[in-house]
Structure 1
C-alpha cells in the first residue's frame, strides 16, 4: 500500500486531474500522512478545484493551523464549495471569532444544512441570546428536525419548568442528552424519583457526559449515598464535564477533606467554571 501511495505521489506534479489528486490526498490522510495529503490538496486547489481548498482546510485544522484553515475554507466558499461553511464556523469558534462563527453558521443554514443551523442556535445561547437561539432551533424543529425538537424541549423546560413538556422531553431523550436531563428533573420534581434515577443511569450507561452531574446530585440529595455520588462526579470529570469538580469539592469538604476540595475547585476554575472559581475565592484559595 505504501509503495502504491508513494508511486502516485511521485507523479503528483505531472497530474492535471484534480479529482485524482484529491482522491490521493484522501488516501494519504486515511493513512495518517497528513503532510503529504496537504501537498495533494494544495495541488488540487492550484488546478482550480474548490474541493481541494475544502480538504486542505480540514487537514490544516486537524494539524492545529486554524488561521490557515480559515483562509482555505474561505477560498473553498469562493469556489462554490458550500460544505465549507460548517467547518469555517467551527474553526472561527476555536479562534474566538464568535461574530465570524455566527456568520458562517448562518451561511450553513442558508445552504440547507440543519446541523450547522443548530450550531448557530447553540452559539447564540452561549453568547447570552437565548431567545434568538430558541427561535432558530424552533424553526428547525418545525421543519421536522428531531434533534432540534429535543433541544427546544430541553431549553423550554429550563426556562419554564412546565410539566406539559414531558411528552416532548420523552421523545427527545435519545436525540439530545439535555432532554434526558430535563426529563429526569421533571420526574424528580413531580415525585417520580425511581424513574428519574433510571433515566439518568441509562444516560450514563449510554456514555452521555451530561448525565453524571445530576446523577451524582441525585445520589447525594435523594439517596444520601455519598460513595455513589463521588463515583458519579469522578466519572463526569473523566467524561469531560468540568462542572463536576465543584460538586465533588462540596462533597469532599463536607467529609473534612479540605485539601481535596480545594484541588477540585482549582481544577474547575481553571476549566472556566465560574461556580468553582467563586467558591475558591470564598475559601481564599
Structure 2
C-alpha cells in the first residue's frame, strides 16, 4: 500500500484531474501521511477544485492550524462547497470569533444543513441566549431532525421540569447525551431511582461525559455510596467535565481531606466553575 501511494504521489505534478488528486489525498490521510495529504489537497485547490479547499481546511484544522483552515474553508465556500459552512463555524469558534461563527452556522442553515442550525443553537445557549437557542433548535426539529428534537426536549426539561416530556426524552436519549441525563433527572424526580441509575450508568459506559456528574450526585444523595461517587467524579474529570472538581472537593472535605478538597476547588475555579471559586474563597478567607 505504501509503495502504491508513493508511486501515485510521484505522479502528482503531472496529474491535472482534481478528483484523482483528492482521492489520493484522502488515501494518504487515512494512512497517517498528513503532510503528503496536504500537498494533494493544495494541488487540487490550485486546479480550481472547491472540494480540494474543503479537504485542505479539514487537514489543517485537524493539526491545529485553524487560521489557515478558516482561509481554506472561505475559499471552498467561494467555490460553491456549502459543506464548508459548519466547519468554518467550528474553527472560528476556536479562534474566538463568535460573531463570525454564528454567521457561518446561519449560512449552513440556509444551505439546508441541520447541523449548522444546531451548532448555532448551542453557541447561542453558551452565550446565555437560552430562549433564542431553543427557538433555533425548534426550527431545526420541525424539519424532522431527530437529534434536534432530542436537544429541544432536554432544554425544555431544564426550563420547566415537566414530567410530560418523558416520552420525548426517551426517544432522544440515544441521540443527545443531554436528553439521557434529563431523562435520568426526571426518573429521580419521580422516585424511580433504580432506572435513573441504570440510565446514567448506561450513558457513562457509552462515553457520554455529561452522565458522570449526575451519576456521582445520585450515588451521594440517594444511595450514600461515597466510594462510587468519588469514582464517578474522578471519571468525569478525566472525561473533561470541570464541574466534577467542585463535587469531588465537597466529598473530600466531608471526609476530612482538606488538602485534596482545596486542590480540586482550585482546579474547578481555574476552569471557570463559579461554585468552586466561591468555595475556594471561603476556605482560603
Which TM-score band (shorter chain)?
Answer: over 0.9
Q: Please report how far the alpha carbon of residue 99 of structure 1 lies from its aligned counterpart in structure 2 after TM superposition.
A: 0.6
**TM alignment of 1:130-169, pairs within 5 A:** 130-169=130-169
> Cα deviation per residue 1:114-173 (whole Å; 9 max; x = unaligned)?
112111110110011111110111111122111111111110111111122122112211
> Cα deviation per residue 1:219-274 (whole Å; 9 max; x = unaligned)?
11111111111111111112221211110000000111011111112222222322
Which residue of 2 is the match for residue 25 of structure 1? 25
Mapped to 2, the partners of 1:187 and 1:225 lie a distance apart of: 19
Q: Please report how far the alpha carbon of residue 93 of structure 1 lies from its aligned counterpart in structure 2 after TM superposition.
A: 0.7
**TM-score normalized by structure 2?**
0.96
Q: Please report how far the alpha carbon of residue 15 of structure 1 lies from its aligned counterpart in structure 2 after TM superposition.
A: 1.3
**TM alignment of 1:59-70, pairs within 5 A:** 59-70=59-70
Which residue of 2 is the match for residue 216 of structure 1? 216
**TM-score normalized by structure 1?**
0.96
Q: Please report how far the alpha carbon of residue 45 of structure 1 lies from its aligned counterpart in structure 2 after TM superposition.
A: 0.8
Mapped to 1, the partners of 2:122 and 2:197 lie a distance apart of: 27
Which residue of 2 is the match for residue 110 of structure 1? 110
CA RMSD of aligned residues (A): 1.3
> Cα deviation per residue 1:94-121 (whole Å; 9 max; x = unaligned)?
1111111111111111111111211111
**TM alignment of 1:1-285, pairs within 5 A:** 1-284=1-284
Mapped to 2, the partners of 1:128 and 1:268 lie a distance apart of: 20
> Cα deviation per residue 1:6-40 (whole Å; 9 max; x = unaligned)?
22222212211111111111111111111111111
Mapped to 2, the partners of 1:208 and 1:68 lie a distance apart of: 31
Mapped to 1, the partners of 2:261 and 2:59 lie a distance apart of: 41
SS state of the match for residue 283, structure 1? Answer: helix
Q: Which moved more, 1:166-175 or 1:40-49?
A: 166-175
SS state of the match for residue 256, structure 1? Answer: coil
Mapped to 1, the partners of 2:25 and 2:231 lie a distance apart of: 45
Mapped to 1, the partners of 2:121 and 2:252 lie a distance apart of: 37
Mapped to 1, the partners of 2:11 and 2:180 lie a distance apart of: 54
Count of residues in correspondence between the two structures? 285
Q: Which moved more, 1:265-274 or 1:51-60?
A: 265-274
Q: Please report how far the alpha carbon of residue 3 of structure 1 lies from its aligned counterpart in structure 2 after TM superposition.
A: 2.0
